[in-house]
Amino acid sequence: MTTESRTREDVVPARLLGPDLLRGVGIILLLLTNVPLILTPIRYDQVAGASPFTGIPADDAAVVLFLSVPTMTGMGMFVLAMGHGLARAGAGRRDFRYAVIRLAVIGMLGLLHGLLIWWGDILFSYFIAGVIALYFRFRQPVAQIAIGASITMFPLVLVVADLLARIGTPRDGSADAMSSVADAYRGLQDDAARAYGSHDAAAILQQRLTDWLVYMQDFAPVGLPQLVGLLLIGIGISRLRAAGSAVLATRGARSVLVTVVVVAGAAYLFQLGVQTLLPQDTGVLSALATWCQVVAPPVLAVAIYVLILIREKRLSASPLVRAVAAMGRYPLSIYIFTSIVCAIAAYGLGYYGHVSASGAVAVGVVLTVVFALLSIALERAGRQGPMESLIRFVVKRRRPDQA
């Protein structure tokens, strides 16, 4: 072993707060989303256009909280932070090989997770997004950010086409089409209720496969391009930061970011209002809400990430921030074990569909607190999470600064 290689392995750079904090916020958002999706049939109500409100104040408040969580913002925070770990993939053949192996392990875990534990897996989509993003690894950071922004906004083509179709289609025709889709999802909801409550392993496995295929079909047209785009943006930002660029720290950049957060937040609140108050609307208002739902969450994820990076030193002084960042060191373990615990309760013990919305949200909050305490304890002990250890074992890396 040469002196240079020993130095490179022995010197461990200080761990950055920004990516950990971003993953920590992202995993909290996903916990508040995934737990109700596993324990209750709220997903089918959403896609069928049925109102999820029951008239029970606690449950209705929980539904509002669930709907208020921008799913793509949470997912986007993860892939933006993944960009930190993939930023060196274009530096050489060794770094590229590590990146590919790492993505392959995540993809395999995601496939097993989606088929054997819970249909709503996102890890396999991260794998696909990562493989596509690596194609652009030799581009300059600014070019990666520009390409990523373009890909992220590409699904707007589908949204505009949908808007034009709704404008040009008689209201009765649009309503009939949406009614047919709603009937299909209600049928899927009935099948899920029977299978997941049957305690029959074969029926549960078959239904999970059906739900996974439907979910992937629904998610891919919009979600996958946005994951690719956000990952490229994360790679570009990380490379700019590593090069010492001060562009993101200027006063003008901060003003633009604050404006973007306000505008994107207002757009998301608009779509939330339509989704909450007019869940069965099939007209132009619904199409505009869909446009806001596509644009606002990824924009919020990027803006929040850059603001975190700008204020990283100031944020590090907060105990709450450090606790959230501690969760961001073990996101994969938290994600997988949340699915395992909730899947056992829902499908193994038969609680699927028997847990209220408020109960599901309460479980999500409890799990968040528990995982936060465990993360703090593991961080203080200098230990890795089980899933993180598995990936590092397979990839055989000794660089804890890599996300």
If DSSP codes are grouped into helix, strand and coil, which group holds residue 90?
coil
DSSP conformation letters of 214-244: HHHHHHHHHHHHHHHHHHHHHHHHHHHHHTT
Burial of 321 (0-12, 13-18, 19+ CB in 10 A): buried
Query: Which of 29, 124, 117 is CA-nearest to residue 77?
Result: 29
Q: Is 32 exposed, middle or buried (0-12, 13-18, 19+ CB in 10 A)?
A: buried
- Give pTM, 2 decimals: 0.84
Q: Where are the alpha helices (DSSP H) in 251-346?
A: 251-277, 284-310, 312-315, 319-327, 331-343
Identify whether 401 is part of a domain: no
- For residue range 79-123, what is the model confidence (pLDDT) as tens digits? 888 888 888 887 778 888 888 888 999 999 999 999 999 999 999
162-166, 288-292, 311-315, range with greatest mean pLDDT: 311-315
Residue 10 forms part of a structural domain: no
Answer yes or no: is 102 within a domain.
yes
Q: Give me 20's structure tokens.
A: 């950990």
The answer to whether residue 3 sits within a structural domain is no
Taking 70 as the threshold, does the pLDDT of residue 5 lie above it? no
- Residue 402 domain flag: no
Q: How far apart are CA 230 and CA 150, in angstroms?
A: 10
Q: Is residue 322 part of a domain?
A: yes
**Which pLDDT score, from 0 to 100, does residue 1 have?**
45
Residue 300's domain spans which residues? 15-395
For the chain, what is the domain count? 1
Q: Is residue 258 part of a domain?
A: yes
Confidence of residue 398 (pLDDT cuts 50, 70, 90): very low
Which H or E element spans position 348?
Answer: none
Query: Residue 67 pLDDT more than 90?
Result: no
Judging by beta carbons within 10 Å of its beta carbon (0-12, 13-18, 19+), is residue 361 exposed, middle or buried? buried
User: For 211-252, what is each residue's pLDDT tens digit?
Assistant: 999 889 888 888 899 999 999 999 998 888 877 766 666 677
Which tens digits make up the pLDDT trace of 381-396?
Answer: 988 889 988 888 887 7
Note whether residue 385 is domain-resident: yes
SS3 of the chain: helix, strand, coil, percent, to 5: 80, 0, 20
Q: Is residue 9 predicted with pLDDT exceeding 60? A: no
DSSP 346: I
- Give CA–CA dist 96/90, Å, rounded: 6
